[in-house]
Amino acid sequence: MTIQETIRGIVENAVSKAQTLNELPDIPLEEITIDRPQNPEHGDFASSLPLKLTKVMKVPPMIIADKVTSHIEIKGPISKAAVTNPGFINLFVDSDWLASQVELIIKSGDKYGNSARGSNTHIQIEFVSVNPTGPLHVGHARGAVFGSALAEILMASGYKVHREYYFNDAGSQIQKFYSSLYARYMQLFGREELVPEDGYQGQYMVELAKDIKRDLGAKYHAMTREDAVSELGREGINRMVETAKSDMQILNVSYDTWFEEKSLFSEGQYDRTMKLLSESGYLTEKDEATWLKSTSLGDDEDKVMVRRNGIPTYFATDVAYHYNKFLERRFDRVINVLGADHQGHARFMKAVPLAIGINPDRLNLIIYQLVTLKRGQDSVRASKRSGQMETLKDLVDDVGPDACRFFFLSRSPRSQMEFDLDLAKKQSSENPVFYIQYAHARICSILKLAEKNSIDYSNGNVALLQHKGETSLIKKMLEFPEIIQSVSETLEPHHLPHYSVELSTMFHWFYESCRVVSDKPQDVEITKARLKLVEASRIVLNRCLKLMLMSAPTEM
RNA sequence: GCCCCUGUAGCUCAGGGGAUAGAGCAACUGCCUUCUAAGCAGUGGGUCGCAGGUUCGAAUCCUGCCAGGGGCGCCA
């Protein structure tokens, strides 16, 4: 249980006690909100509950506040409860209780902040899922960072998380890729082959053809055109997938499954899905094509499932994919992370669970806004088909995986962000990421010194931690489990990097105001107590960095 | 035209019903004989796009308008 939940329970008890004694009207309560006031005079926690209850209870807020506060027991975490105008209840945390929490953090170790909220819930999270017809660009980096960090945090909350990358390896775009690659390959042998008008024109296709020629020579030149297109194409797609995998790796992103779209046909999901949809009456024929009546499920237009030429659309495979996720692999929840360029797909996606008889609440769609790049004065749009493009790899090579992850993760997915390439490079040593990592390195350096001096602080008395620099740091550390919990509920991981900065600030401040390792004989006890605090800080900050999939350097 | 997202300090962004709106960067002033100065302390900087509305209370919710980004294929 987090501290906030403990406090909420205390207030809740006080209210019901007042109700039992008929001091307040006995009406059912909604969830009680507990805030952390920014003004320290208003305590460590505050509740505006009386202001909210005044209307339904028909009692002035200050009276409610008085009655509730009189039943708040001054013990455990609470040292003082006060009422302030116009009807707030302010709660102050007991400093001895606070100091004792350091022991708990050390005892929890790398499990501090974990919870069992998600136990027995299987979540599948799908992110990036770029088709292997082009390189990954900076926008995909945003999705990758978001999805991978969210997955880590959900795991900390006890969910069973399955990370998945879905890619299209069949269909018309793949055919275009095949013929584009064939043309580039044959051009290397002096043949006048043209890349199709609507094909993939990018320079990377030339490079890909060169690589294949270098590794496999004229192998495909000797084949019939038909064989060459498909075999060379497959070789090309395989290489593109490998590149995507290595791009994910350099960003510290790993997956449990790379899911091939074509398996939906070979494994039968497509057929079973169409049968289910047909039996439920969601399919209809029009203009020689098969349509899904998705408007009846909230979509703004019906969608073609099978084209006039008999080939299924991506709408059909998407339904089959979710049929597989929900009905075959039986995930309790599914999270799909999409770029804003796919937002038109969102309304349809929300209809998909309904079409296969699944509660739509089990599907979460997260749409992140696009990344624009700025180089000098010029804004560059990240788009796969335009010529100019900053690839994910170029970006990571430039600013490093840690800075890249921190920068993307700090932004809420709904805000479109401008990535100033020049600034990112220039700032690389003034970046907030170093602020956090530096705090971690400082911590480790203190612990190293203690070890060198053979200080055994296992019997340190944390009750001695009463300095403002110490208590502020402990308070901040106690917020960590709340951050994990709130990110797991709201699916908004950007709070974690912000918290990490705040925690680092508290540590740096403690470091400046409290000398830890001291040689003076009279400081033996406080040194040991502070070393425990430093160890606890290491645990929490290290967890932050690890959950963000960033490195936690022990020296810098 | 319709749909989605955004508009907060010079810049990049948090805060998304509660008390005096925050951080980083940039600018300015101090602080290293002591565990890492990639740090700390301090100063300046705001009609929270505009206008109405709801509320005891609005940066936050609702409506309209303005501005920016994205989406409206039998492409994925």
A244-294 per-position pLDDT tens digit: 999 999 999 999 999 999 999 999 999 999 999 999 999 999 999 999 999
Nearest protein residue to nucleotide B21, judged by CA and C1' positions: A38
Smallest CA–C1' separation from A300, nucleotide: B3
Q: A384 or A123: whose pLDDT is higher?
A: A123
Nearest protein residue to nucleotide B56, judged by CA and C1' positions: A51
Query: What is the spatial distance, in angstroms and rounded to an integer, between the CA atom of A166 and the C1' atom of B45?
Result: 48
Between the CA of residue A226 and those of A132, A175, A179, A221, what are the distances in Å?
Answer: 21, 12, 10, 11
Query: What is the spatial distance, in angstroms and rounded to an integer, between the CA atom of A373 and the C1' atom of B11?
Result: 15
Give the whole-number percent of chain A exceeding pLDDT 70: 97
pLDDT by residue (tens digit) across A40-54?
Answer: 899 999 999 999 999
What is the DSSP pairing of strand A78-84 with strand A88-93? antiparallel
Query: What is the spatial distance, in angstroms and rounded to an integer, between the CA atom of A416 and the C1' atom of B65?
Result: 23
Quote the ipTM score: 0.96
Smallest CA–C1' separation from A372, nucleotide: B69
Spans of all domains in chain A: 3-93, 172-250, 431-547
Query: What is the spatial distance, in angstroms and rounded to an integer, between the CA atom of A380 and the C1' atom of B61?
Result: 36
Q: Which of A26-35, A62-71, A110-119, A543-552 has the lowest mean pLDDT?
A: A26-35
- Tell whether the model's pLDDT for residue A385 goes beyond 90: no
Name the burial class of residue A489, with classes exposed (0-12), middle (13-18) and buried (19+) by CB atoms within 10 angstroms of its CB. exposed
Mean pLDDT for A128-144 is 94
For residue A152, the surrounding DSSP H or E stretch is helix A138-156
- Smallest CA-to-CA distance from A475 within A156, A84, A77 is with A77
Locate all alpha helices (DSSP H) within A188-289, ordered by sequence: 203-216, 225-250, 263-266, 269-279
For residue A140, the surrounding DSSP H or E stretch is helix A138-156
Smallest CA–C1' separation from A501, nucleotide: B23
Residue A311 CB coordination number (10 Å)? 11
Query: What is the spatial distance, in angstroms and rounded to an integer, between the CA atom of A342 and the C1' atom of B3?
Result: 13
- Smallest CA-to-CA distance from A330 within A120, A116, A147, A117 is with A120
What is the DSSP pairing of strand A122-126 with strand A160-167? parallel
The encoded tokens of residue A314 equal 């991506």
pLDDT, position A389: 59
Query: What is the spatial distance, in angstroms and rounded to an integer, between the CA atom of A413 and the C1' atom of B49?
Result: 21
Architecture of the domain delimited by A3-93 = 2-Layer Sandwich (3.30)
Mean pLDDT for A308-330 is 96
Q: Give CA–CA dist A438/A556, Å, rounded.
A: 7
Task: Say how many CA atoms lie within 13 Å of A82 toward its Cβ.
Answer: 13
Q: What is the DSSP letter of A295?
A: G
- Smallest CA-to-CA distance from A34 within A438, A383, A482 is with A482
Strand partners, A84: A88
pLDDT, position A473: 97
Q: Give CA–CA dist A500/A478, Å, rounded.
A: 13
Q: Which one of 3.40.605.10, 1.10.10.10, 1.10.730.10, 3.50.50.60 gives the CATH number of domain A431-547? A: 1.10.730.10
Nearest protein residue to nucleotide B40, judged by CA and C1' positions: A512
Nearest protein residue to nucleotide B57, judged by CA and C1' positions: A51
Return positions of chain B under 7 A from a protein CB: 3-7, 11-16, 18-26, 34-41, 56-57, 68-72, 74-76
Query: What is the spatial distance, in angstroms and rounded to an integer, between the CA atom of A349 and the C1' atom of B71?
Result: 14
**Mean pLDDT across chain A:** 93
